[in-house]
């Protein structure tokens, strides 16, 4: 699976860990590439553009709390970004809301938990039906 991944400085270390431990996926690393202070909207935009252009199947964004990256990503029509901090929230984000962007709060999840969240999110399947109707309401 081709996954676009981006992070600001607070998510850099966790992003690096995710890429190192997720060798079964093709990662499109859109930055940042160091722990030097930077702004999360830059990386949210890059991940969303990869998805909307068809260059990636889905995306992962990391910032300190995850809130800012979620807000930035959800500005794009056709992007359903979900801030997830547990495996259950991640599963439901995909099953009920067809989240195509997973946002992780780097300051609040361990590397092991982040990998578990990603695994569950990637394996979950959208239910469709009434849940699709709700997404269509959002896109009106």
Question: In this predicted model, what pLDDT tens digit does every residue of 74-123 receive, in sequence order?
Answer: 999 999 999 999 999 999 999 999 999 999 999 999 999 999 999 999 99
DSSP letter for 77, please. T
Per-residue model confidence as pLDDT tens digits over 22-49:
989 999 999 999 999 999 999 999 999 9
Closest CA to 69 of 78, 59, 57, 58: 59
Per-residue model confidence as pLDDT tens digits over 45-67:
999 999 999 999 999 999 999 99
> What are the CA-CA distances from residue 87 to residues 45, 104, 130 (Å)?
25, 11, 23
Alpha helices in 1-140 (DSSP H): 12-21, 40-52, 67-73, 87-97, 111-123, 130-139
pLDDT for residue 72 is more than 90: yes
Domains, in order of start, for the chain: 2-139 (3.40.1400.10)
């Amino acid at each position: 699976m081709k996954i676009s991944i981006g992070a600001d400085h607070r998510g850099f270390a966790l992003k690096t860990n995710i890429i190192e431990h997720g060798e079964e996926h093709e990662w499109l690393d859109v930055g940042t590439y160091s722990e030097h202070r930077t702004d999360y909207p830059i990386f949210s935009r890059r991940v969303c553009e990869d998805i909307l252009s068809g260059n990636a199947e889905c995306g992962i964004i990391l910032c300190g709390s995850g809130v800012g990256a979620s807000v930035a990503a959800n500005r794009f029509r056709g992007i359903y970004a979900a801030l997830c901090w547990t495996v259950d929230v991640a599963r439901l984000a995909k099953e009920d809301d067809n989240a195509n962007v997973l946002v992780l709060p780097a300051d609040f999840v361990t590397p092991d938990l982040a990998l578990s969240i990603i695994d569950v999110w990637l394996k979950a399947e959208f239910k469709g039906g009434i849940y699709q109707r709700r997404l269509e309401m959002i896109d009106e």
